[in-house]
Amino acid sequence: GAVVSQHPSWVICKSGTSVKIECRSLDFQATTMFWYRQFPKQSLMLMATSNEGSKATYEQGVEKDKFLINHASLTLSTLTVTSAHPEDSSFYICSARDIAGGPLEQYFGPGTRLTVT
Amino acid sequence: AQTVTQSQPEMSVQEAETVTLSCTYDTSENNYYLFWYKQPPSRQMILVIRQEAYKQQNATENRFSVNFQKAAKSFSLKISDSQLGDTAMYFCAPGRGSQGNLIFGKGTKLSVKP
C-alpha cells in the first residue's frame, strides 16, 4: 500500500514552453501533497505544500507564478512549470500524506526528470 | 530557520559490519517527528525509520536503529549487518509544523563493499 506515482518520469521540453507533472496517490487519499526539487548530487528542497481544494503554500524563494500547483482532488496534484528555462532542469519529486493519519509520514513518488533545452 | 546537519558526506562499510550515520538538527518545536530516508540509485525515496520526539525509547526497525538525544538535538542512524542493498544516499529529515513539512539534510552517501 501507500503508493505514489508520477507522470511523466522523464520529459524534455523547449525553452519557453510549459510542462505539467502529475502526482497521484494510488491507494490512499492525500489531504496534503508536497513538491520537492533535487539537483544532481544534492538534497531535496521543499518547493511547496498543497492541500486539497486550497491554494498551495510556497517556500521562500520559490516563484509561485512559475511553478503552478493544483491539488484538485484527494488523489491528484499537478505541478506546471511555466515558461521553462534551462535552469529549471532538475529532478522533481512529489510526496503525499495519507488522510487516515499516521505520524506525519510522507510517501514519495518516483520523481520526474525535467530537461529544458 | 530549521537546519539539519549531516557531517559525513560519504562513508563506506564492509558487508556484515555496522555503521553509524550522524545527524544534528535545530528546531524550536517541542513535539515533532524525525525520519531517516534512503535514496538508492533509482532515486526513489524510501522511509528507513522514524522517531517521535516525545518518546524516550529509541526506534528500531530490524537492522536499523536510532540513537535519539533530544537535548543534544542529535539523531544518528545505526545500520547493523550491512548489506549490499543498503548502498544509497541517506537523508535525515526532521518534520516541521502541523503538516510535518520535512527539512532534509545534505545526505550521506553510504557504500557497502563486499
Weakest mean pLDDT among B9-18, B28-37, B78-87, B105-114: B28-37
pLDDT digits (tens, 9 = 90+) for A3-23: 999 999 999 999 999 999 999
Residue A102 — pLDDT band, cuts 50, 70, 90? low
- Does the beta carbon of B1 lie under 8 angstroms from any beta carbon of chain A? no
Does A46 sit within 8 Å of B107, measured CB to CB? Answer: no
- Does the beta carbon of B99 lie under 8 angstroms from any beta carbon of chain A? yes
Interface test with B, best of A33, A44, A51 (most B CBs within 10 A): A44
Helix (H) / strand (E) element for A31: namely: strand A30-38
pLDDT (0 to 100) of residue A101 = 64
For residue A84, give the nearest of A105, A107, A98, A67 by alpha carbon: A67
pLDDT digits (tens, 9 = 90+) for B50-86: 998 888 899 999 999 999 999 999 999 999 999 999 9
C-beta of residue A27 within 8 angstroms of C-beta of residue A83: no
Rounded Cα distance, B102 and B95, in Å: 5
Distance of CA B28 to the CA centre of its chain: 20
